[in-house]
Amino acid sequence: MRDRLLNLREEAVAAMGAVSDLEDLKKLKVKYLGKKGELTTILRGMGTLSEEERPAIGRLANEIRTYLESMIANKEEELQDLALEQRLKDEKIDVTLPGIRRTPGSLHPLMAVIEQIEDIFIGMGFEVAEGPEVELDLYNFEMLNIGKDHPARDMQDTFYISSEILLRTQTSPVQVRTLQKKEGKVPIRMICPGKVYRRDDDDATHSHQFMQIEGLVVDRRVSMSELNGTLLAFVEKMFGEGTEIRLRPSYFPFTEPSVEVDIFDSDKGWLEILGAGMVHPRVLEKAGYNPERYTGFAFGMGVERIALLKYDIDDIRQFYNNDLRFLHQFQSV
């Protein structure tokens, strides 16, 4: 029995030398020292020993247990240290390396311009409306006093979907939709930003799809001077205090009188920025407003054009190419 104990010790020590991770060490501990382990098995044979042998063997067995336990404890500590060292090595970060710079996204310059314009008009009591891009001929033309044979239809080459349905060529149909929605009530102060479509060949100043902002004010005794004052206030907020405007007589079927509005730029002189006028009595009438009682003004501007002027951009296509080198320049706008 003594030999078996000594063999067991030798074997256990040898096995321990080969162990390289904590899991194996645990198994080894169970194998030799566990309740059903080899040491216990040997000691179960104690009954066959003589009275004299028993204390010596018992002492030896205890010594071996203590010895192996401390060996295992040491080994465990050693393996834990190794594991920690490995983890520190694996998880090491070099805090002196430059970080990954994340560039924040930003609004597209056209959206930024629309938001600025909306803010200015909201500040003057306007509501923001929306209308469909697929529109009825009725709203895009007829109700705006542009009959089937009206020459103005030629100015706005139209994408037709059917004979009565089209892609809107202007945001002006939202004037009609707003009037109908308000059912004869005043005051109306609305602006409407949105996309419009025309059968144009794309170049530096034309695009088959672009954006407009429509404006409509209807109330009792709305006058041309109110149109002038509203647009001047807008222009000064958009292009700077003291910016001058000029109203030139023009023609639109849905306004009478009609004007085109220019702003003055010290380098480039007078620049056209929008069309406007007093709402044509026939437009009011068709939409259920008595033109004897109510008057109004309307205006429509091209968003791209405003953005080109404000940021001194020379090609409208820049807005649609999605070149990040271009877009990144508007991060703070």
Please report whether residue 131 would count as binding ligand DAH according to CB under 6 A.
Answer: no
Are 270 and 288 in contact by the 8 Å Cβ rule? The answer is no
Please report whether residue 255 would count as binding ligand DAH according to CB under 6 A.
Answer: yes
* Residues in 182-211 at the binding interface with ligand DAH, rule: CB under 6 A: none
The Cα 186–Cα 172 span in angstroms is 19
Residue nearer to ligand DAH on the CB measure, 25 or 144: 144
Question: In angstroms, what is the minimal distance from the CB of 160 to ligand DAH?
Answer: 17
Which region, judged by CB under 6 A, interacts with ligand DAH, from 105-113, 284-292, 297-305, 314-322? Answer: 297-305
Please report whether residue 145 would count as binding ligand DAH according to CB under 6 A.
Answer: no
Question: In angstroms, what is the minimal distance from the CB of 237 to ligand DAH?
Answer: 20
Please report whether residue 141 would count as binding ligand DAH according to CB under 6 A.
Answer: no
Which region, judged by CB under 6 A, interacts with ligand DAH, from 57-65, 81-89, 271-279, 288-296? Answer: 271-279
Which member of 32, 121, 234, 252 binds ligand DAH (CB under 6 A)? 252
How many angstroms separate the Cα of 108 from the Cα of each of 160, 211, 235, 251, 332? 29, 13, 21, 33, 11
Q: Where are the beta strands (DSSP E) in the chain?
A: 127-128, 134-136, 165-167, 188-197, 209-219, 245-252, 255-265, 269-279, 295-302
DSSP class per residue in 47-108: GGS-TTHHHHHHHHHHHHHHHHHHHHHHHHHHHHHHHHHHHHHHT---TTSPPPP-PPP---
Question: In angstroms, what is the minimal distance from the CB of 216 to ligand DAH?
Answer: 7
Please report whether residue 299 would count as binding ligand DAH according to CB under 6 A.
Answer: yes
Please report whether residue 276 would count as binding ligand DAH according to CB under 6 A.
Answer: yes
Please report whether residue 214 would count as binding ligand DAH according to CB under 6 A.
Answer: yes
Question: In angstroms, what is the minimal distance from the CB of 277 to ligand DAH?
Answer: 5
The Cα 111–Cα 169 span in angstroms is 20
How many angstroms separate the Cα of 90 from the Cα of each of 52, 81, 87, 99, 231? 58, 14, 5, 19, 66
Binding residues for ligand DAH (CB under 6 A): 170, 172, 214, 252, 255, 275-277, 298-300
